[in-house]
């Protein structure tokens, strides 16, 4: 199966603003490309590309004053199967974990392990370690947190989500990740494309999606506390400790996002059609 992906962002920029963007596919996804990415800025603006400390592709540019448009499109191959499920995946003792997983046991800007540790052990300490424990976390967050774009705010942390019981996909992710870390399960945040492939169409505007990955049985597995079912066509853009590391755009100056459109859809035989929805 082929999936066409892309986005369009439109900013009003009062004065030139240095900006870091993570609006590329993750390097692990490049073998899946059938039509390469084409990141374009209008008016034409140079982008200095680099790879950050988490292995994400990123770019630095100076958004010029005025109206700035940035867009991208590509075609990605997918196996058309839901992501793997392994109910027997075991949890490693901390002493046996690979060194590279250890940072994903610690607290971070949006994931307050210290504040939620006692709560996590009260809620999930009696569940079997490993896959069943992570699934219990996803089930709890999915059932107890209400989704809505009106609940989003950039300062919202995992502890805020636990107390308020509302949020967007990144908030579901932050709370689930924090619970996992409290229980000594390495968990990292992830973001990218996720279309309505193999599920009923969602009436909400298309957006980038946030999920998380846990280290069990010598590999990383994807989990999604918001949707809470294995999905088809998840396409990774960035990974990190929390939303700080996977932010799609970080500007050092005043900018106003006036248009944000994301699309991800199957490529039909007739044409490379795109279904897009817009969120302003």
CA 78 to CA 105: how far, in whole Å? 31
- Quick one: pLDDT at residue 269? 57
Alpha helices in the chain (DSSP H): 113-124, 131-144, 158-164, 169-182, 243-246
Which three-class secondary structure state does DSSP give residue 146?
A: strand
Q: Give the number of residues written for the chain.
A: 280
Q: In the chain, what is the straight-line distance between the N-terminal and C-terminal CA atoms, in Å?
A: 30
Contact 10, 68 (CB under 8 A): yes
Contact 78, 2 (CB under 8 A): yes
Contact 18, 62 (CB under 8 A): yes
Contact 169, 211 (CB under 8 A): yes
CA 146 to CA 141: how far, in whole Å? 9
Contact 70, 40 (CB under 8 A): yes
Contact 163, 116 (CB under 8 A): no
Cα distances (angstroms) measured from residue 207 to each of 83, 266, 278:
20, 16, 8
In which element (H, E) is residue 147 found? Answer: strand 146-147
Q: Is 148 exposed, middle or buried (0-12, 13-18, 19+ CB in 10 A)?
A: exposed
Would the pTM count as exceeding 0.85? yes
- Quick one: pLDDT at residue 206? 81
Dump pLDDT digits (tens) for 17-40.
Answer: 999 999 999 999 999 999 999 999
What are the structure tokens assigned to 16, written together? 């030139």
Low-confidence residues of the chain, pLDDT below 50? 271-280
What are the structure tokens assigned to 63, written together? 């958004």
Q: Around 218, how many Cα atoms within 13 Å sit in the side-chain half-sphere?
A: 0
Dump pLDDT digits (tens) for 210-251.
Answer: 999 999 999 999 999 999 999 999 999 999 999 999 999 999
Contact 75, 272 (CB under 8 A): yes
The Cβ of residue 29 has, within 10 Å, a number of other Cβ atoms equal to 20
CA 106 to CA 111: how far, in whole Å? 8
């Amino acid at each position: 199966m082929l999936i066409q992906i892309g986005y369009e962002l439109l900013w009003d920029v009062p004065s030139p603003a240095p900006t870091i963007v993570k609006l590329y596919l993750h390097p692990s996804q490049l073998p899946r490309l059938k039509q390469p990415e084409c990141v374009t800025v209008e008016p034409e603006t140079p982008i200095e590309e680099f790879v950050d400390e988490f292995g994400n592709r990123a770019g630095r540019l100076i958004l010029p004053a005025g109206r700035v448009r940035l867009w991208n499109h590509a075609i990605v191959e997918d196996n058309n199967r839901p992501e793997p499920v392994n109910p027997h995946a075991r949890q490693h003792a901390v002493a046996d974990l690979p060194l590279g997983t250890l940072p994903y046991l610690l607290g971070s800007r949006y994931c307050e392990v210290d504040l939620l540790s006692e709560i996590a052990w009260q809620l999930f300490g009696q569940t079997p370690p490993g896959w069943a424990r992570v699934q219990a976390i996803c089930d709890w967050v999915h059932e107890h947190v209400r989704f809505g774009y009106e609940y989003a705010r950039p300062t919202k942390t995992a502890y805020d989500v636990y107390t308020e019981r509302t949020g967007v996909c990144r908030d579901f992710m932050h709370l689930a990740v924090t619970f996992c870390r409290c229980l000594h399960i390495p968990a990292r945040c992830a973001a990218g494309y996720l279309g309505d492939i193999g599920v009923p169409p969602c009436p909400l505007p298309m957006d980038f999606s946030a999920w998380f990955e846990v280290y069990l049985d010598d590999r990383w597995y994807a989990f999604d506390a918001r949707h809470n079912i294995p999905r088809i066509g998840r396409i990774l853009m960035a990974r990190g400790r929390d939303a700080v590391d996977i932010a799609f755009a970080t500007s050092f100056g005043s900018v106003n996002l006036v248009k944000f459109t994301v699309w991800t859809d199957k490529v039909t035989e007739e044409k490379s059609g795109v279904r897009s929805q817009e969120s302003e």
